[in-house]
Amino acid sequence: MTEHRVGIIMNGVTGRMGTNQHLIRSIAAIIKQGGIKITEGETIMPDPILVGRNPAKLTKLAELTGVATWTTNVDEAIADKAYTVYFDAQTTDRRVDAVKKAIAAGKHIYCEKPTATNVSEALELYALASAAGVKNGVVQDKLWLPGLMKLKELIHRGFFGEILSVRGDFGYWVFEGDTIPLQRPSWNYRKQDGGGMIIDMLCHWRYVLDNIFGEVKSVSCLGATHIPQRWDEQGTPFDATADDAAYATFELKNGIIAQFNSSWVTRVRRDDLLTLHVDGSKGSAVAGLRDCCIQPYSATPRAVWNPDVPQPIDFKEGWSLVPEQRSYDNAFKAQWELFLRHVVLDEPFPWSLLVGAKGVQLAEKGIESWQKRAWVELETLLS
- Residue-wise pLDDT for 153-209, tens only, equals 999 999 999 999 999 999 999 999 999 999 999 999 999 998 999 999 999 999 999
Residue 131's pLDDT is 98
Domains of the chain: 2-141+331-352 (3.40.50.720), 143-324+361-376 (3.30.360.10)
Residues counted in the chain: 383
pLDDT-based confidence at 273, cuts 50/70/90? very high
Question: Taking 70 as the threshold, does the pLDDT of residue 66 lie above it?
Answer: yes
Residue 383's pLDDT is 54
Tell me what percent of the residues of the chain surpass a pLDDT of 90.
Answer: 97
Question: Taking 60 as the threshold, does the pLDDT of residue 326 lie above it?
Answer: yes
Give how far Cα 80 sits from Cα of 68, 131, 183, Å: 16, 21, 36
Residue 381's pLDDT is 87
Residue 374's pLDDT is 98
Contacts of 302 (CB under 8 A, 6+ apart): none
Q: Which phi-psi region, left, alpha or beta, contains residue 221 (left: φ > 0; alpha: ψ -120 to 50)?
A: beta
Give how far Cα 293 sits from Cα of 280, 331, 364, Å: 14, 20, 33
Contacts of 347 (CB under 8 A, 6+ apart): 338, 341
Please write down the HEC assignment for all residues of 258-274.
EEEEEECECCCCCCCCE
Give how far Cα 321 sits from Cα of 165, 285, 287, 318, 326, Å: 21, 10, 10, 10, 14
Please count the other Cβ atoms lying within 10 Å of the Cβ belonging to residue 364: 25
Please count the other Cβ atoms lying within 10 Å of the Cβ belonging to residue 211: 17
Half-sphere exposure of 52 toward its Cβ, with a 13 Å CA cutoff? 22
pLDDT tens, position by position, 278-300: 999 999 999 999 999 999 999 99
Tell me the pLDDT of the chain averaged across its residues. Answer: 96
Question: Taking 80 as the threshold, does the pLDDT of residue 1 lie above it?
Answer: no
Tell me what percent of the residues of the chain surpass a pLDDT of 70.
Answer: 99
